[in-house]
Every structure is written in structure tokens, then in C-alpha cells.
Amino acid sequence: MDAVTRKQLKIDACKARMGIIEGVANAKSGHPGGSLSCVDIITYLYFNHMNVNPADPKNEDRDRFVLSKGHAAPALYAVLALKGFFPREWIKTLRKSDSNLQGHPSMKYTPGVDMCTGSLGQGISAACGMALGAKLANKNFRVYTVLGDGEIEEGQVWEAAMYASAKGLDNLVAVVDNNNLQIDGTCAEVNSPYPIVEKFKAFNWNVIEIDAHSFDEIDAAFNQAKETKGKPTAIIAKSIKGKGVSYMENQVGWHGSAPNAEQAEQAMTELKAALSELEA
Amino acid sequence: MADVIKTATRDAYGKALVELGGINDKVVVLDADLAAATKTGMFKKAYPDKFIDSGIAESNMMGIAAGLATTGYTVFASTFAMFAAGRAFEQVRNSIGYPHLNVKIGATHAGISVGEDGASHQCCEDIALMRTIPGMTIINPADAVEARAAVLAAAEYEGPVYMRFGRLAVPQIFDEDYKFEWGKAVTLKEGKDVTICATGLLVNEAIEAEKLLAAEGIDAEIINVHTIKPLDAETICASAAKTGCVVTAEEHNIIGGLGGAVCEAICESGTAVPVVRLGVNDVYGKSGPAVELLHIYGLDAAGIVEKAKKAISLKK
């Protein structure tokens, strides 16, 4: 990845982080921690990888994105707004009763959202169905899904994992956002999903391990996935929950609570400073 | 009558899928390792490229069906009613119902007429479960002719449909030229003393019960409620107002199925008439030959006659 692209992605991801904070703070509820941990990957997909067009969000040849960890909706909304799928002002309406931005992603309300998700474990199955649809129709579109590391405790994820490799869905990429924290504590403490890499390997997936916040590693992984034939790719992305907001980083308490006005202001100050530095 | 043609609605389902495969290239059929039993195996044989086995993983299959539907396919997803509506309830609710996707759930082996497999496989809760999903259409055909017509109609309809089929061969009631009207209850016989609303294999029993009642001077109106949701409340309530009492008959728990739906409709219509429900009386089934079980649980013409007399006795 060239320096200009890398820098622009960092700028876009920083702006998306500001969108996450703004949305969750205005809603006074939501899931900032897990949104901040996967937003670099979602930014990369929409700005550098997927074939999508905000002016034609239902194009049948587009690449699909399914946020299986639907509680990270603020990250998806922030990126979709930045990409131009809907007005930036919508972010402030997140979770309100007259909003097009539901607490968890809904294809019924929001342009650019490809699947209703939120109930953990279900998004990856829908993503498999989409990938199968591409195969049946001899289309070249690809399907991307992001799962939480806690989410993979759901049995349905492994039904889908078995299915995707059995059917040779090499047009499917599943990312595991491995921030190692879930509501009740660390993943290892609650009900360890580890070893994650070996599990996906045992399910006959192509497995790549990356740093979820390195655009070079993200780029290399998704490009390698595209070259991999005959089997789906799992990208196990080591991430930091709350990444980019100092007081949220690696704090399980920020899984599902919103910053108050003062905390939100501090977060925005930090992110603005980071943005200025990037744009300098 | 030795010349009565008997066919299981699951057989009609399999044949209708094959028929659909020949006229609609968007139809894809999924199954969860039960193709021989659900009869989707017929479609698999005819259109192997459009049949995908999901293996023994019904929850995932419903998600696959949802994702596939978003890419423009009309997806038929099949397994036993117990697993389609029971095990995969939440996937049907969240991944299919909420986005209102074009998935047709072909649920076979519904009710106690599953027979020898016993209670674990005798799903008597599926209608109740599916009724609570907003936007879900529920069709419970009475015979093979109606089952075929319902499958063809479901393929033309945009949105989720739950179709309930049985394992047991049941008498053919309708002629081959029978016209299936989406969401419209069918009055099979007009009467003035009691309205009998039946669905699925109880429709034939209601027809038999009508003859028994007539022999005792009771003039029953018979309504075939093939579409349980949306319910044709207009036809049912008008009949109830005319006859003054109603019996519902279904191979399902008396809670939450046709009986519940009819009670709700009648209560809110302002037609204050008694409704007596015939169904599986809030108990689990058990192993045994299907026909014997239907008699044991009172799901037969004699059971309907008894309930009809009770309903008439409750009239003010």
C-alpha cells in the first residue's frame, strides 16, 4: 500500500471514529468499544476494497458487507455516511424513534446496509447465503462479514463455518474482530473461544492473522483472500477494544455504554488532534 | 370408500417444487439432510444444480435462505416443522421475517400424525410460533391439490411464507381444477346451526363430521381455513354471526393456532358467540400409528361432532 493511500485511510478511519462517538453520545446508549475496534477494517473495505456505489446501493453486482457483530452498528453507519450512502447529519439521530439508523443494522431502514443483523451468529449465515447466490448466478461479487470474538461462542457460527468450506465459498471473507473482551469480561474468562486460528483451520478455511489497526496488514490479508481459491478466508484480526479513545482502550466497561457529554468532548478532542496530525 | 385417493401433502409439495423448477429459474431449494422425507428429493433429482443441502444445521439453513433471497432467488427451505419453526425460530424471526425476505419455509411432518417417531418430532406449536412473526404468511393445506396450489401461489408472492405439510397420506378433497385464493377461507358447505372452521387434515374430518351431524338434524357450515395468517376474519365472523357458534379443528396445540386466531377475531368483531376449540389439548404427543393417534387425541370426525354439540349447547 502506498503512503498516500495509507494516510487517506487513516484520515477516513479517524473521521469514522468521530462519527461513532457522536452517534453513541447523542443516543446516550450503544456500543462504542467494539465499534472502535473494527472501524479500521470497515473503513478499508468501503474505501479501498469493495465494489460499492453509494448512488446505486442495491446494484445486484455489488460486493456485500454483513456486520455479523451488529452491535458495532455505529462503526458501519459512520463509514456509510462518510462514503455518501446517506447524509452525515443522520449520525446524530442514531437510536432515536424517528431515525433511519436503528440500534442494530437494518436493511429496511438504512441505504447501504445489506442485511439485518444484531442477533449474534446470524450474520455469517446470511453472508454464506449471499456468497452462494453469487456462485449460483455465476457472478463475481464477493461477500465480507465481521464477527466479534465473543460472537463466535454462538454455535451457529460453526454451522456456517462448516458450510462455507464444504461448499467452497471462496468469495466469502469472515473477519473475527479479536479484541478479547466481551460483556462479562475477557473472552478467555467468559467461555474461551480460543484457539481461534486453529478452529478455522480445522474447519478448512484459509486463515490469516493480522493487526486490525495496520492498513498494510489489512490490505495484504484481503488481497490474499481474493487470490485464494476453493475455500473461504478467515481473517483473525487482533484489535484493541475502544481503539483511538484513550480512556476506552482495553476497558470492558465501554462495551455497551455511552460516554457522557464531558467524556464525549474529551474523545472528540483526542480524535480531532489525531486528525490534525494526520492532515498536517 | 375404497376409491378415495390418498396422498400426503409433503408429496404434493415435492411434486409442486419440480413443477416450479420447470417454470421459474429463480427457485432454489434448501434442505437439512431430510430431502427423502420432506420430498424435496424430487426437486434434487430434477434440478440438482438448484438444490443445496445444508446438512443437519437448520439454524444456519434459515440464514443461508435469507442471504440467498437477498441476491434475488426465491428460496424454499425445508425441514421438519419441529426444526423449522422450533429450533430455527429466532433465525426465521430475525433473518427472514424482520427483513421480510422472499423465503418459503416448507415445513413437513407437522402435528402428531408424524406417528411412530413420537413427541420429540410431533410439532404442535409451529402455527403459534409463526403467527407471532410480523408479516409471516401461514398456509396449512388440507389435501394434495390444495398443497400444490399453495406452493405455486407462494412462489408468486413476494415475502416470507410458512407452509405446513403432513407426513400422513390424506384423502383428496378437491378437484384438480380447484382454485386457490391467497388468504381467502373457503366455505365448503353452508349451514345454519354451527360453524366448523378446520385446517389441514382436519378439513376432511370436518366434512365427515358434517354428515354425522346432519344425520342428527344439525346443519353445520364448514369452512376450510387454509391460510391461518392473515386470517380471513371477514368470512369466519360473518359465518359465526349467522350460525351463532363456532368450532375450530386443527392438528396443533389448542393454544395459539387456528383456535386462538379465530377466538381473537371473533372477540374483536363484536359477534359474541361461543367458540369451542378442538386440537391437541396442551399435551405432548406419543409414539403410535398416525391414524390411531389422531383418534386417541380426538382429532377426528367424532371429536368434531362432540365439540359441535358443545358449542351449540353454549348458545344463549
Whether the predicted pLDDT of B315 surpasses 60: yes
Rg (CA), chain A: 17
Share of chain A above pLDDT 70, in %: 100
Q: What is residue A198's three-state secondary structure?
A: helix
Of A241, A201, A255, the C-alpha closest to A71 is A255
Task: Classify domain B6-171 by CATH number.
Answer: 3.40.50.970
Q: What is the mean pLDDT of residues B220-241?
A: 98
**Pairing state between β A206-211 and B74-80:** unpaired
Q: Given A116, A119, A134, which is nearest B71 (Cβ)?
A: A134
**Pairing state between β A185-186 and A181-182:** antiparallel
pLDDT at B2: 54
Tally Cβ neighbours within 10 Å of residue B295: 14
- Nearest-angstrom CA–CA distance, A158 and A121: 9
Which residues contact residue B253 at a Cβ distance below 8 angstroms, ignoring those fewer than 6 apart?
B124, B125, B128, B279, B280, B282
pLDDT at B3: 75
Query: Per-residue pLDDT tens for A83-142?
Result: 999 999 999 999 999 999 999 999 999 999 999 999 999 999 999 999 999 999 999 999
Q: What is residue B304's three-state secondary structure?
A: helix
Tally Cβ neighbours within 10 Å of residue A40: 27
Residue B31, beta-bridge partner list: B53, B78
- Nearest-angstrom CA–CA distance, A115 and A103: 14
A181 — pLDDT class (breaks 50, 70, 90): very high
* Contact assessment for residue A27 and residue A101, using Cβ atoms and an 8 Å cutoff: no
pTM: 0.97
Inter-chain CB proximity A133 and B62 less than 8 Å: no
Inter-chain CB pairs, A–B, below 8 Å: 105
pLDDT at B154: 98
Query: Per-residue pLDDT tens for B71-109?
Result: 999 999 999 999 999 999 999 999 999 999 999 999 999
* Contact assessment for residue A221 and residue A246, using Cβ atoms and an 8 Å cutoff: no
Which segments of chain B does DSSP mark as H helices, in order? Answer: 9-23, 35-38, 41-46, 58-70, 81, 89-91, 126-131, 144-156, 202-215, 233-243, 258-269, 290-296, 301-314
Tally Cβ neighbours within 10 Å of residue A28: 14
- Nearest-angstrom CA–CA distance, A135 and B21: 18
Q: Given B60, B99, B100, which is nearest A160 (Cβ)?
A: B60
Of B79, B88, B2, the C-alpha closest to B33 is B79
Q: What is residue B4's three-state secondary structure?
A: coil
What does the mean pLDDT of chain B come to? 97
Domains in chain A, number: 1
**Chain A partners within 8 Å of B28 (Cβ):** 136
- Nearest-angstrom CA–CA distance, B105 and A220: 41
A35 — pLDDT class (breaks 50, 70, 90): very high
Q: What is the mean pLDDT of residues B259-271?
A: 96
| Amino acid found at B47 | Y
- Nearest-angstrom CA–CA distance, B247 and A147: 50
What does the mean pLDDT of chain A come to? 98
* Domain of residue A213, CATH code: 3.40.50.970
Inter-chain CB proximity B67 and A107 less than 8 Å: no
A258 — pLDDT class (breaks 50, 70, 90): very high
Whether the predicted pLDDT of B1 surpasses 90: no
* Neighbour-count burial for A137-158, b at 16+ CB within 10 Å, e otherwise: eeeebbbbbbbbbbbbbbebbb
In angstroms, the first-to-last Cα distance of chain A is 20
CB of A127 less than 8 A from some CB of B: yes
Q: What is the mean pLDDT of residues B289-309?
A: 98
Inter-chain CB proximity B98 and A128 less than 8 Å: no
pLDDT at B297: 98
Inter-chain CB proximity B64 and A118 less than 8 Å: no
Query: Per-residue pLDDT tens for B20-65?
Result: 999 999 999 999 999 999 999 999 999 999 999 999 999 999 999 9
pLDDT at A175: 98
Q: What is residue B3's three-state secondary structure?
A: coil
**Chain A partners within 8 Å of B25 (Cβ):** none
Q: What is the mean pLDDT of residues B133-138?
A: 98
**Closest-approach residue (CA) in chain B for A158:** B60
Q: What is the mean pLDDT of residues A40-61?
A: 98
Q: What ipTM was predicted for this assembly? A: 0.96
**Chain A partners within 8 Å of B50 (Cβ):** 136
A30 — pLDDT class (breaks 50, 70, 90): very high
pLDDT at B243: 98
Burial of A16 (0-12, 13-18, 19+ CB in 10 A): buried
Question: Which three-class secondary structure string do you get for B25-60?
Answer: CCEEEEECCCHHHHCCHHHHHHCHHHEEECCCCHHH
CATH 3.40.50.920-classified regions of chain B = 186-314
**Chain A partners within 8 Å of B48 (Cβ):** none
**Chain A partners within 8 Å of B98 (Cβ):** 106, 108, 116
- Nearest-angstrom CA–CA distance, A163 and B48: 18
Known catalytic residues of B? 58
CATH 3.40.50.970-classified regions of chain B = 6-171
Instruction: Please provide residue A268's backbone torsions phi and psi, each rounded to the nearest 5 degrees.
Output: -65, -35
Rounded to an integer, what is the distance from CA B188 to the centroid of its chain?
17
Of A78, A70, A160, A29, the C-alpha closest to B94 is A70
Of A162, A190, A127, the C-alpha closest to B71 is A127
| Alpha-carbon torsion (B265, B267, B269, B274), positive or negative | positive
Residue with cell 449460483: A136
| Structural domain boundaries, residue A252 | 3-279
Of A180, A173, A127, A130, the C-alpha closest to A151 is A180
Q: What is the mean pLDDT of residues A7-13?
A: 98
The CATH number fitting domain B186-314, selected from 3.30.420.40, 3.40.50.300, 3.40.50.920, 1.20.1280.290: 3.40.50.920
CB of B71 less than 8 A from some CB of A: yes
Which residues contact residue B309 at a Cβ distance below 8 angstroms, ignoring those fewer than 6 apart?
B218
- Nearest-angstrom CA–CA distance, B256 and A16: 47
Three cell numbers written together for B61: 439453513
pLDDT at B316: 78
**Closest-approach residue (CA) in chain B for A63:** B71
